[in-house]
Amino acid sequence: MGAVIRDYVSLTKPRIIELLLVTTFPVMFLADRGVPSLWLILATLVGGSLSAGSANALNCYLDRDIDRLMHRTEGRPLATGAISPRAGLTFGLVLGVVSVLWLGLLVNWLSAALSLAAIVLYVGFYTLLLKRRTSQNIVWGGVAGCMPALIGWSAVTNSLSWSAVVLFLIVFFWTPPHYWPLSMRFRDDYASAGVPMLPVVAEDVAVARQVVIYSWVTVLTTLVLVPVAGMGLIYTAVALVAGGVFLREAHTLLAKARAGASYAELKPMRLFHYSISYLTLVFVAVAIDPLVHLTLH
């Protein structure tokens, strides 16, 4: 029973859910300009986790054929047969229905609608339409991963605002320089599965150049939040310092690619791992900044 439970949990991709919650939880503090009720926070995070789990499980169901071909994913339960396709599909759909009802009944229906949109975008737009057809798959498919920022805002205000849009755009522009270094690491996997990730169809220099461009746009967008949401010194300082390190890592990758560095010398996973820390720092600052502002006033 323990093994079966672990298999089903793995379908939800818990590590991805953790990252999505990082962009949900802090936004609620900014939207509230204080500390939201503990019940609202818990209800939103549980609903968001169920929603993300649904999207990830359905993604595993649809990608089970190519997952068998890639070393990184060949151990997934639907690829090995530990969970049947029908059971995986049912599990994903049930999680989706429960997540929408949970958010609608316990948070608000706007958050529920945004949650449903995130599932549809990830499963239909990214997995089915884009992933196997274009090297820009992660750019536009990444829209689904930006929805938690909107869900966190709407959970508190039952509305959206320009601040929420900027937070959405931060995650949108951050996604390519986060994911493309990982794609460089697993380039052979994607190539053998016929998935045209950018590092599969483009040279390292071209990929690194795109990483640098998106990294700059990401950092500049974090600074746009300062006037739009009235952010203070703590957020501004974190956005500048963490953003500076992010840009340094991106430019280092480009410099090595231009020098003809081997994969071992490129070390793309260094940027991948830092990108997670970078997004976490920025969004933690999003939560802390209004609390300090409240204390000072």
Residues 209-245: tens digit of each pLDDT: 999 999 999 999 999 999 999 999 999 999 999 999 9
b/e 54-74 (16+ beta carbons within 10 angstroms → b):
bbbbbbbbbbbebbebbeebe
* Tens of pLDDT, residues 172-212: 999 999 999 999 999 999 999 999 999 999 999 999 999 99
What is the number of structural domains in the chain?
2
Residue that terminates a domain, selected from 156, 181, 214: 156
Q: Give me the CATH number covering residue 9.
A: 1.10.357.140
Q: How confident is the model at residue 64 (pLDDT cuts 50, 70, 90)?
A: very high
Cβ burial of 148 (10 Å; 0-12, 13-18, 19+) is buried
Higher pLDDT, 116 or 15: 116
Are 247 and 179 within one domain?
Answer: yes
Residue that terminates a domain, selected from 92, 122, 156: 156
The parent domain of residue 218 ranges over 161-297
Q: What is d(CA 222, CA 4) in angstroms, rounded to the nearest whole number?
A: 42
Look at residue 261 in the predicted model and tell me its pLDDT. 86
User: pTM of this prediction?
Assistant: 0.95
Q: What is d(CA 109, CA 103) in angstroms, rounded to the nearest whole number?
A: 7
Residue that terminates a domain, selected from 156, 177, 199: 156
Are 193 and 135 within one domain?
Answer: no
